[in-house]
């Protein structure tokens, strides 16, 4: 590890030499930072600066992107996960300002614990991951970018109230001048979550005992505190730092037909980073050092959820450092180099028996290089990439475990190479063609490799999941044609073949063991349309068609639809707006029915949800928003037994000051 960090320092020193040359610039419109980092891939940038004006979450914002499916285990504040192009949730990497949140413990990130109101935008990279995000996940990458201080002094806040005794409050202050910038943000969100739902009493085919009831033990309270800043120093360097603190207490309501009275979970997460950015005429470099601490406490005092009474605390520590450098060769080419070292550990403590479980550890070293060739005045872009990732996972073993299970010391390690090639052809300013193909991996989680204290037996012999991910797309873009102010249309075909998929196999009445037994094949199409008419109508639509099939070779499963992957998914929003007055908007969401099990026996029905709202701006900086969700009061769920809320109402008052003290 020491040699690796020495390499990072030497790697950084290479970019301190100033050589005069021209940077690569593409003719036509300026491209955004995410598009520049990912010149041939499928990228969606979701603007979330208006999040303070609504009561929403990261999952609801992500649904604006084609190819994205969100799985929720309840309403606001409940556990939710993201899937991209039919991949599983642990095949998608989630970052906060480039700091990894997807950990080695389970590999799954709870979207409900992410700070939507503190974000400026969400970047969704489908399939290919930009070089600066390290590894090569099979599904793609979601990067949450926190708010930036804008020019001058600003301050503001918002307050919301709505159905199910939902309260939200936000406060922020920021300053940005020539040399320095700083921002402080605080958010509080809580809800009783006691919405009505249809309880079938766990008898699917007997309608006589169905009844309306209220969700119990579904309350939560969360707080987010963000501090960040930056300073420009001599010789084209800028240093920046941030700390994001999150705390949440939540009840665990359990299945809708079986009320849980007392179980709950408390989560504390603190993520800090320190970085530097250098911009030269021929070179550019960005370095980042980060540390994330997560502590969760799970309590089931009545033994309502798990196997007996439990009170456990879980600790996760992640720290690392990376560097991304770019060398510009005139207007024709860019060479990018990336290196990262990361260490993770995960430990458990049984609070009832005052017992500590051994610590699982993983060290990951990643190196990557990418070339970007801009030919024919950037009308043809070629991007070959190679990543090499080495990981080592260690577990010292446990002498005893719940229910008599024992586990000896074990370890797992591997070196993975992920090649990728992308191209983009732009014959005119209004039309482009792109294509990508690459090989990607998912390393098994600690629970899959080493098991837990109860029902999961570890399997350190697991192979990594692997996948071939390919896509090809076309895009059209028009501006200022008659009454059409702007029109953007993209259509992308994607294909994903996965091998050695890890599934839990029951190997006794009480235990399961992770095994590599499955293959899958997914293909589909994403269609995105955005338009502005006459300066007062905005419309967007994100449609995904996908066919996800089990190719395990098991007779009663082969050819079945993969669980949790709807064939059709559509999300739209239309708004009538006036810049000085506000907007009136309408949303429509359709999600096909889909199966929850590999055998295709348990099905979630299709759903159509309508929403509407109005934002009024009586004076500059002040806005009033009223919104209705699920207007038709549809009784729906993403997962059987975990109902989603029916009709709900929310109102928000928001104020943001004008810029003061600019120089």
CA distance 544 to 570: 7
Coil vs helix vs strand at 13: helix
Q: Tell me the sheet residues that pair with 335.
A: 327, 371
Question: Structural domain of residue 631, as residue ranges?
Answer: 2-656
What count of other Cβ atoms lies within 10 Å of the Cβ of residue 444?
A: 27
Task: Tell me whether residue 662 is in a domain.
Answer: no
Give the pLDDT confidence score for residue 203 in this predicted structure. Answer: 62
Q: What percent of the chain has pLDDT over 70?
A: 88
In a domain, 663, yes or no: no
**Would you say residue 557 lies in a domain?**
yes
189 located within any domain: yes
What pLDDT score does 257 carry? 65
CA dist 295 and 291 (Å) reads 14
DSSP code at position 451: B
- How far from chain centre, in Å, is Cα 647? 27
Return the beta strands (E) in 512-636 as ranges.
512-533, 537-550, 568-578, 582-591, 594-595, 603-604, 607-619, 622-629
Query: What's this model's pTM, rounded to 2 decimal places?
Result: 0.90
Task: Classify each residue of 465-492 as buried b or exposed e, where b means 16 or more C-beta atoms within 10 Å of its C-beta.
Answer: bbbebbbebebebeeeeeeebebbebbb
pLDDT-based confidence at 568, cuts 50/70/90? very high
pLDDT in tens, 367-424: 999 999 999 999 999 999 999 999 998 887 754 444 344 456 678 888 999 999 999 9
Statement: residue 134 has pLDDT above 90: no
Query: How high is the pLDDT of residue 591?
Result: 93
Q: Are the C-beta atoms of 613 and 647 separated by less than 8 Å?
A: no
270-320 pLDDT, tens per residue?
999 999 999 888 999 999 999 999 999 999 888 887 667 889 999 999 999
- Asked if residue 633 is part of any domain, the answer here is yes
Identify whether the C-beta of residue 466 lies closer than 8 Å to the C-beta of residue 500: yes
Mean pLDDT computed over 51-71: 92
Whether the predicted pLDDT of 30 surpasses 60: no
pLDDT tens-digit map of 608-627: 999 999 999 999 999 999 99
| Residues counted in the chain | 663
Paired with 490 in beta bridges are: 475, 528
The verdict on residue 192 lying in a domain is yes
pLDDT for the residue 12:
42
State the CATH number of the domain containing residue 463: 2.40.170.20
List the end-to-end C-alpha distance of the chain, in Å, as a whole number: 46
Domain membership of residue 83 (yes or no) is: yes
For residues 208 and 211, give the distance between their C-alpha atoms in angstroms, rounded to a whole number.
9
Which burial class, exposed, middle or buried, applies to 204 when counting CB atoms under 10 A from its CB (0-12, 13-18, 19+)?
A: exposed
How many alpha carbons fall within 13 Å on the CB side of residue 387?
A: 27
pLDDT score, position 480: 79
| pLDDT of amino acid 25 | 31
pLDDT over 60 at 3, yes or no? no
Supply the pLDDT for residue 127: 86
Neighbours of 285 (CB within 10 A): 22
Whether residue 324 is predicted with pLDDT greater than 90 in this model: the reply is: yes
What does the pLDDT read at residue 206? 60
Q: Which residues contact 407 (CB under 8 A, 6 or more apart)?
A: 395, 397, 398, 401, 450, 451, 457, 458
State the maximum Cα–Cα separation within the chain, in Å, rounded to a whole number.
80
Phi/psi at 579 (5° precision): -55, -35
Q: Is residue 661 part of a domain?
A: no
Overall domain count for the chain: 1
- The residue-averaged pLDDT of 162-178 equals 95
pLDDT band at 661 (very low <50, low <70, confident <90, very high): low
User: What is the average per-residue pLDDT within 234-256?
Assistant: 90
**178 pLDDT more than 90:** no
Beta bridge partner(s), residue 317: 293, 345
Please answer whether residues 314 and 268 qualify as being in contact, where contact means their C-beta atoms are separated by less than 8 angstroms. Answer: no
Task: Choose the weakest-confidence range: 34-48, 124-138, 448-462.
Answer: 448-462
Distance CA 331, CA 328 (A): 8
Model confidence pLDDT, tens digit, residues 627-658: 999 999 998 888 877 889 999 999 999 999 98
Alpha helices (H) along 281-414 = none
């Amino acid at each position: 590890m020491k040699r690796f960090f020495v390499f990072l320092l030497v790697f950084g020193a290479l970019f301190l030499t100033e050589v005069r040359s021209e940077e690569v610039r593409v003719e036509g419109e300026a491209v955004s930072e995410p598009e520049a980092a990912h010149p041939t891939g499928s990228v969606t940038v979701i603007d979330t600066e208006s999040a303070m004006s609504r009561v929403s979450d990261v999952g609801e914002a992500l649904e604006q992107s084609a190819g994205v499916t969100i799985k929720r285990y309840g309403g606001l504040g409940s556990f939710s996960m993201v899937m991209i192009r039919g991949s599983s949730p642990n095949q998608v990497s989630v970052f906060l300002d480039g700091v990894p949140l997807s950990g080695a413990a389970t590999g799954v990130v709870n979207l409900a614990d992410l700070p939507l109101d503190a974000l400026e935008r969400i970047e969704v990279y489908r399939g290919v991951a930009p070089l600066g995000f390290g590894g090569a996940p099979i599904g793609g990458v979601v990067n949450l970018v926190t708010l930036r201080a804008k020019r001058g002094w600003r301050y503001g806040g918002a307050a919301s109230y709505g159905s199910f005794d939902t309260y939200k409050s936000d406060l922020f202050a920021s300053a940005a001048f020539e040399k320095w910038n700083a921002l402080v943000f605080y958010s509080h969100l809580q809800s009783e979550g006691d919405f009505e739902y249809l309880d079938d009493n766990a008898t699917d085919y007997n309608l006589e005992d169905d009844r309306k009831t209220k969700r119990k033990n579904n309350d939560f309270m969360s707080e987010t505190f963000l501090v960040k800043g930056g300073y420009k120093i001599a010789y084209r360097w800028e240093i920046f730092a941030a700390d994001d603190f999150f705390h949440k207490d939540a009840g665990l309501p359990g299945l809708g037909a079986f009320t849980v009275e007392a179980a709950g979970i408390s989560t504390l997460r603190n993520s800090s980073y320190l970085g530097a950015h250098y911009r030269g005429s021929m070179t550019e470099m960005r370095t980042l050092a980060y540390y994330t601490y997560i502590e969760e406490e799970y309590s089931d005092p009545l033994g309502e959820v798990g196997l007996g009474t439990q009170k456990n605390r879980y600790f996760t520590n992640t720290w690392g450092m990376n560097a991304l450098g770019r060398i510009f060769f005139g207007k024709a080419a860019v060479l990018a180099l990336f290196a990262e070292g990361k260490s993770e550990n995960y430990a458990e403590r049984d609070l009832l028996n005052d017992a500590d479980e051994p610590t699982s550890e993983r060290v990951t070293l990643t190196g990557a290089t990418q070339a970007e060739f801009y030919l024919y005045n950037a009308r043809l872009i070629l991007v070959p990439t190679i990543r090499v990732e080495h990981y080592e996972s260690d577990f010292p073993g446990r002498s005893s475990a719940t229910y008599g299970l024992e586990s000896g010391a074990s370890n797992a390690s591997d070196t993975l190479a992920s090649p990728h090639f992308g191209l983009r052809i732009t014959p005119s300013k209004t039309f482009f063609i792109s294509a990508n193909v690459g090989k990607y991996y998912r390393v098994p989680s600690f629970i899959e490799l080493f098991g837990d204290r109860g029902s999961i037996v570890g399997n350190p012999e697991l192979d990594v999941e692997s996948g071939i991910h390919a896509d090809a797309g076309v895009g059209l873009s028009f501006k200022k044609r008659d009454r059409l102010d702007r029109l953007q249309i993209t259509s992308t075909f994607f294909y994903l073949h996965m091998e050695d998929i890890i599934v839990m196999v029951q190997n006794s009445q009480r235990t399961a063991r992770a095994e590599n037994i499955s293959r899958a094949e997914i293909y589909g199409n994403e269609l995105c349309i955005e338009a502005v008419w006459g300066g007062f109508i905005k419309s967007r639509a994100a449609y995904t068609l996908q066919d996800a099939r089990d190719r395990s070779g098991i007779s009663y499963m082969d050819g079945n639809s993969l669980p949790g992957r709807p064939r059709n998914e559509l999300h739209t929003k239309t708004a009538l707006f006036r810049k000085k007055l506000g907007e009136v908007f309408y949303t429509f969401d359709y999600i096909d029915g889909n199966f929850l099990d590999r055998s295709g026996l348990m099905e979630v029905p299709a759903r159509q949800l309508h929403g509407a709202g109005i934002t009024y701006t009586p004076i500059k900086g002040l806005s009033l928003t009223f919104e209705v969700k699920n207007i038709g009061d549809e009784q729906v769920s993403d997962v059987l037994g975990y109902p989603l809320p029916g009709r709900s109402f929310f109102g928000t008052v928001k104020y943001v000051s004008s810029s003061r003290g600019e120089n």
